[in-house]
Structure 1
């Protein structure tokens, strides 16, 4: 009782400044052009005397046109030499801030891992975005307000750079530096991000959360939540025994120092263990929906882009919960703040970063058209560019987005996919966005089971085609599968006129289903993640793979 009263009092104290920030943010959304212009000028003025600022004539930038003329649209590699100087201790090469708190490591889904310097300014904005997201979610759903939150995070310190600055996962760092009064609301301690083995990390997260009435469950990728649910059933006997005794199974791959820290935290709860054991014995499969009431639980995760196959599985494991997208965010910065349930769209975070947009059809141009936030058209796809307070300028993150409407005067943006994922056998220029949109449409009417999937080109001397690689367990109904392939083919032709033309000309054959072993996608994702680096929570499973050799590669799994 005392704990609940303390948390309620703490919640009210914390919520007051967050409400002020929410009100201030909402006020800016009425005037996005002014808010963005002012922000750009503040960034340029503050970073004027850095090495990057001097090299690019920041002192002479007066207008947006000056800014665009003096700084090119560029990927991470353009700013990488300056970041490398910061890693060696020369902070002023890129930043006016006296201190870099950490380097956030990107997931490496498109290339080798990037290192994004995190300053106090950046961290304040990042937290503000999360605070607005959380406050609006609780305002809309009082049933979850001030209930415990279970959040999966990564390792905030995988290593240190030459200057001794930690390099790791941003969500892990923010969890680590939370105020003590807030930390009590989180069921999973931040240091569990250092547990490298995914199953052991999920096990510990469950063990820490089973005793609490969790109101919010957060993981960027819904595939993490699917894995979490499967661990619950697979390890239910050990979990319930550990819950009853306040112990931690010796079968887990956990470093001794982390075990020691967890030993101080885990408390025996025989009453809760007995209650859950009765449910586990009654149910053929023990699932999160048996532990936490679905109607009193909000899931926060990505809902746009390529996560559809995993998203569709969540109700089976968690029941009909509340669902809210956590927004388009990456190590490089938060781009949107969703304010409604069941929508991948969020309001552009115009108070944190300066944004520009390149129309999708312009991306190959030597001098592409660049638009500002207030110039976007509803329904049109764009590549999003970021200019941030932590040293990124006109940064091409290769995310394809679409404007779906407006919040006051500010665009609502949804993530479509990674724009660099293309396949091009005969000039069709098939993109991951085409694939994911086709899948969304066909799955609305044809209930083909899909654990995970990807399309990849397959070479055939007579007629090349695209194969959709499905696990054996999902291909047991040939009639349903044939209907699904027919629907997918029709949708791909509708989504991409070039694909349609190549099919008409006979240069491409129809999509074919190619069988891979059950569990192959999980094994392939694990190896792919290990090659590129990053955390499972950040990883995005590709839905289109342009490599002609992939058909041979996946056979190994």
Structure 2
């Protein structure tokens, strides 16, 4: 047996074993949640945080709640910042090996301490289990055949004051940093995984081009995006970069040999089909792995057609840089099972005020308390140094499996609340889905903002152009759908604090151009995500341009 075959066998065994262990653990959620709590308390009892919060005296979840208030990143940052300067024993008994970065709500880059014990007991079991559906059903999606859009082969590595690496989770070589050689992701050994010499680590758009140019010359069998916006950009990038791609494949570039045969194939392909799509370039593409909920749920069905007939979209796990939450163990289209062996999970109903999510007075629920169809803020605790940490994400309980809730990502936890309407991301996504479906309309993407004239403004990029009548009716239906979804919006409309919303139809590539602008400006593709609520006035004006607008009618909104 070759070394590659041996590696594949060992990898599959590890992936399926971790999934099996999690499935077994789900039969006793309460027992495993107690075990995780006991371990984090015992291991970190003698840290500064542990002594200050009496970890040595805590035995039960109720005692843990009384001892430790719920905090967000800002609340925990004094301990994190001291840890990042190299002070030992602040949050964890183990010294962090790296710090994961994650963009905070104010734009700052968080420093998430990552210890070897956290990786061994919390991260890796979840990480391997997450690949099980892809590995089981798409064995061709391997190290050398996947276009992994989250993988960054030329990372720009920042460091903390103590000299530890500070970078995105997708930029860490887990094999080198944590002694896990099997953790190399699908696509990490593909010909397009290593970029030509001389590519600037900070030029994320050029890195995206180089990776795509190399992949076009090859046979891609799967795409890993995690962030669906990066997957949605692929057809647009092929259109934007096609002449340069074909020329450079034909002529070659420094370090990459010319391939005139493949270039001629691509020229003939373009002559035959006109607009070249990923489905044409990679006829053997069969799987895509990315988030499937949120705004992506509106555009993934049509995007999948551009990727190829018969392509399956598998949902990426519900997780953040700070902690795993849920992982799909089968082929469910959007939801996963809680990783009960990784962290202690608490939940707060999503409609609670923000000041009731954090602080001493936060009232939390546990997994058995969750109800199907309801949405909740997520609070996590784990051995890596996050204790009763408000993740900032909202999950929806889609259904149950063996009596255990299955969770789907429903959006970020913040509100749009300019006039007391208390809109959540999930309200907007569901209202859009309802209003679009009722008119048989589809979008490439959509977003909204609280406008200057006491009304919401929506920007929608139609999949196919809409007539004036269709757009006018969409505005009215969308206003009515928001009234039905959000009690706060309904009250604001009834009291006259909000006027009927406005829908602006932008061209089909407007969101894709804006995504490219963000990446060109220095945002890594993995972090350039869809935005339900648009915050920046200047980029909003560039997005909508001179797009016509339609208003929702009062009689519809009051229904």
- Shorter chain as denominator, the TM-score bin is 0.7 to 0.9
Partner of 1:104: 100
Partner of 2:49: 52
Q: Distance in 1 between matches of 2:253 and 2:539?
A: 44
Q: Distance in 2 between matches of 1:277 and 1:109?
A: 45
Preserved CA contact (<8 Å) 1:36 1:351: yes
Deviation at 1:267, TM superposition (A): 4.8
Q: What runs of 5+ residues in structure 2 fail to find an aligned partner?
A: 547-559
| Counterpart pick for 2:473 among 471, 483, 491 | 483
| Counterpart pick for 2:38 among 19, 37, 41 | 41
| Counterpart pick for 1:15 among 6, 12, 20 | 12
The answer to whether 1:298 aligns with 2:298 is no
Equivalences for residues 342-353 of structure 1 within 5 A: 343-353=333-343
Partner of 1:78: 75
The answer to whether 1:540 aligns with 2:529 is yes
Deviation at 1:31, TM superposition (A): 0.7
TM-score under structure 1 normalisation?
Answer: 0.85
Q: Judging changes above 3 Å, is the alpha-carbon distance between structure 1 residues 22 and 396 closer, same or farther for their aligned structure 2 residues?
A: same
Equivalences for residues 184-263 of structure 1 within 5 A: 185-186=187-188, 187=190, 188-189=192-193, 195-247=201-253, 263=255
Deviation at 1:344, TM superposition (A): 1.8
Q: Distance in 1 between matches of 2:174 and 2:258?
A: 25
Q: Judging changes above 3 Å, is the alpha-carbon distance between structure 1 residues 180 and 374 closer, same or farther for their aligned structure 2 residues?
A: closer
Preserved CA contact (<8 Å) 2:397 2:408: yes
Partner of 2:417: 423
Q: Judging changes above 3 Å, is the alpha-carbon distance between structure 1 residues 183 and 530 closer, same or farther for their aligned structure 2 residues?
A: closer
Q: Which moved more, 1:113-122 or 1:378-387?
A: 113-122
Preserved CA contact (<8 Å) 2:518 2:528: no
Partner of 1:393: 387
Q: Which moved more, 1:52-61 or 1:442-451?
A: 442-451
Please list the CA deviations of residues 54-83 of structure 1 after superposition, one character each: whole Å capped at 9, or x if unmatched: 121111111111111110011012221111
Partner of 2:128: 131
Equivalences for residues 523-534 of structure 1 within 5 A: none
Deviation at 1:44, TM superposition (A): 1.0
Preserved CA contact (<8 Å) 2:450 2:456: yes
Deviation at 1:146, TM superposition (A): 7.0
Q: Distance in 2 between matches of 1:183 and 1:357?
A: 31
Deviation at 1:490, TM superposition (A): 1.8
Please list the CA deviations of residues 239-295 of structure 1 after superposition, one character each: whole Å capped at 9, or x if unmatched: 2343345425xxxxxxxxxxxxxx3xx45544444333321221211111112236x
Q: Please report the RMSD computed on the Cα atoms of aligned residues, expressed in angstroms.
A: 3.3
Partner of 1:410: 404
Partner of 2:457: 467
Please list the CA deviations of residues 481-534 of structure 1 after superposition, one character each: whole Å capped at 9, or x if unmatched: 112212212211111133234334444321112466886655666677899x85
Partner of 2:181: 179
| Counterpart pick for 1:325 among 309, 315, 320 | 315
Q: Judging changes above 3 Å, is the alpha-carbon distance between structure 1 residues 549 and 11 closer, same or farther for their aligned structure 2 residues?
A: closer
Q: Distance in 2 between matches of 1:468 and 1:549?
A: 15
Partner of 1:258: none
Preserved CA contact (<8 Å) 1:469 1:514: yes
Preserved CA contact (<8 Å) 1:160 1:166: yes
The answer to whether 1:119 aligns with 2:115 is yes
Q: What runs of 5+ residues in structure 1 fail to find an aligned partner?
A: 249-262
1:219 aligned counterpart, secondary structure = strand
Preserved CA contact (<8 Å) 1:156 1:167: no
Partner of 2:489: 499
Q: Which moved more, 1:371-380 or 1:161-170?
A: 371-380
Q: Which moved more, 1:49-58 or 1:438-447?
A: 438-447
Q: Which moved more, 1:537-546 or 1:376-385?
A: 537-546
Partner of 2:160: 161
Q: Distance in 1 between matches of 2:487 and 2:83?
A: 47
